[in-house]
Structure 1
Amino acid sequence: MPQLNGNTCEIDELPDGVTVTIKVTTNSRHTQKVTVTRNDEVLSVFAGSGERNAMTGQSNIVASSRAKLRAKFEYQTDINAEWLKSSQLKSGGPYTIGNYNLLVIVAENGDDSDYNDSIVEFSWITPK
């Protein structure tokens, strides 16, 4: 299971060398930002707002068992405002269905309690 600490999630159970797809969506009128890093190197930054699972972005990385991934969730209530760090996180997975794997982290920024303001999905195929 990922380790949740405030607005940050550490992920260390991804299999070495597999290609992992990161997909980020939002369900908030406030701009959401998710920064994915590995050993302090920024791999991807996703930012956007919108309802009905609006796509914020997608990228692929190659997992490394020697390094933890970290996803940091932030939001802002006004354009050009400071990024706030009070999002609360929940996670599920990793779930394995055949060779398909899915790990989900959801964030709530406090304007309601539905835990869908930012949704990050890590998915990969387990090699045979």
Structure 2
Amino acid sequence: MDDKASVSISGNNAAIHLPAGLTAQVKVKTNAKSTQKVALMDRSGEVDLVFSGTGEGNTVIGEKIITPGERFLLDAVFEYAGTDGVLKPSKLNSGGPFEVGSLNLLVVVAENGDDTDYNDTILEFSWYTR
């Protein structure tokens, strides 16, 4: 696998590759009244981070600085609570990586089906390069 950031989507799972040796910020935002959940797991299957919450207007429900080792592969699973409170799979889309000067962004967005704006959950990875 090359050392460029990438994301591939299958159902409500996003497989994310980040380059080695960087320090990245992970931020999760929500634009939904229903509970949104993102679980980030390394390839061993252990849950590393879980973010959950509600809110409108890009409410931040979690953020963390991560420093990957030689290779960094994550699986991100997106779910939302339906009206019955049961977690259901979200629909996903992604963008990036985008380079703006030395800032790099990789984004995965989720839709819970109440509209089609794909902003119910927003998972952002950002990092700087020299």
- Normalization by structure 2: what TM-score? 0.88
- C-alpha separation between the residues in 2 aligned to 1:65 and 1:105? 23
Instruction: Give runs of aligned pairs for residues 21-100 of structure 1, distance below 5 A.
Output: 21-39=25-43, 40-78=45-83, 81-85=85-89, 87-100=90-103
- C-alpha separation between the residues in 2 aligned to 1:93 and 1:66? 19
1:20 is displaced (CA, Å) by 1.1
> Where in structure 2 are there 5+ consecutive unaligned residues?
1-5
- C-alpha separation between the residues in 2 aligned to 1:64 and 1:4? 23
Distance 1:89 1:65, change over 3 A: farther
1:55-89 deviation per Cα after TM superposition (whole angstroms, max 9, x unaligned):
1110111124434111110010248x32111x111
Instruction: Give runs of aligned pairs for residues 97-108 of structure 1, distance below 5 A.
Output: 97-108=100-111
Count of matched residue positions in the alignment of Structure 1 and Structure 2: 124
1:42 is displaced (CA, Å) by 1.6
Distance 1:55 1:67, change over 3 A: closer
Matched, 1:109 2:85: no
- C-alpha separation between the residues in 1 aligned to 2:108 and 2:72? 19
Give 1:124's aligned residue.
127
- C-alpha separation between the residues in 2 aligned to 1:4 and 1:27? 21
1:88-123 deviation per Cα after TM superposition (whole angstroms, max 9, x unaligned):
111110001222100011000101111000001000
The one-letter amino acid of 1:50's match is G
- C-alpha separation between the residues in 1 aligned to 2:50 and 2:57? 21
Q: CA RMSD in A?
A: 1.4
- SS of corresponding position for 1:111: coil
Over the matched positions of the two proteins, sequence identity in percent amounts to 48
Give 2:22's aligned residue.
18
> Where in structure 1 are there 5+ consecutive unaligned residues?
none
- C-alpha separation between the residues in 2 aligned to 1:103 and 1:30? 24
- C-alpha separation between the residues in 2 aligned to 1:2 and 1:64? 18
